[in-house]
Amino acid sequence: MRLALAVIALAALAGCKSKPADLPPQPNAATAGDSLRKVGTELEARSGKVAAAVTVARDNADKPEVVRAETGVALSSLPVPSPDDLLVARARASRADQKDYAAAEAAGKKARADLDAALAKAKADQEEAKRVSDLKDARIKQLEAELDRVKKDKDAQWWTIAGVGVAVIGAVATALAGPRVGLPLLACGAAIGAFPLVTDSPHWDLIVTLTLSAGAALLIWVAWDYARDRVNAKNPPAE
């Protein structure tokens, strides 16, 4: 939602510009890999314990008590079988047909391979989802920065227009009323036009201090000049 709003606002402010490159589709997967990694690790650990118990039970096939105990350990890590699965297993055991066992083993190996493939795909989807999510976050930051730049450019245009206007008035005033009136207006026009550049400068504090000092000095000079003119008007020089 934020990305769509940013694109619309940028298009409204910036006008016709080149469209950013399309982002790749994001897989329907979590962007944080900790949960998936934890599930995969727990599944591998549980499978390993079951495989170890069954292996020990087969190695001790001549010891019924060991077989029963180890298969009990294996069953403790497995879900409860469904009635249908129990019927299939019991029928297979009653027939004791090696072909049935071979087919069941092949199906088990295929199921294991399918599970490994599904887990690998889930991990790949998670990594791709994280990558695309990071791309979206970067695009949002890029668009927000572009919005800020466009806004600053438009603000700078208004300051430039205002500065030019004041400078024109200063030039006219210089021609009609003299430099005493026109030069301060010209200086003000230049200051207004340069304001956006000055505010973005890393030396803003120093510039403000110098500008205020110069403004104060100019104000003192104007006041002194005005007072001098008043004194000279009251006491004209003797002819």
Amino acid at 125: D
Domains of the chain by residue range:
32-146, 155-230
Q: Is the pTM of this model over 0.85?
A: no
Which whole-number Å values give the CA distances from 67 to 64, 74, 75, in the listed order? 5, 10, 12
**At which residue do the structure tokens 């000079």 appear?**
221
Nearest to 195 by CA among 152, 226, 137: 152
Chain segment 84-125, per-residue pLDDT in tens: 988 999 998 899 899 988 998 999 899 889 988 988 888 888
Cα(229)–Cα(226) distance, integer angstroms: 5
Which whole-number Å values give the CA distances from 229 to 46, 48, 176, 218, in the listed order? 100, 103, 19, 16
pLDDT of residue 10: 40
pLDDT of residue 21: 62
Whether 1 contacts 140, CB under 8 Å:
no
Chain segment 136-158, per-residue pLDDT in tens: 888 888 888 888 888 878 877 88
Question: Exposed (0-12), middle (13-18) or buried (19+): which is 188, by Cβ within 10 Å?
Answer: middle
pLDDT of residue 239: 52
Flag residues of the chain having pLDDT under 50: 1-17
pLDDT of residue 230: 75
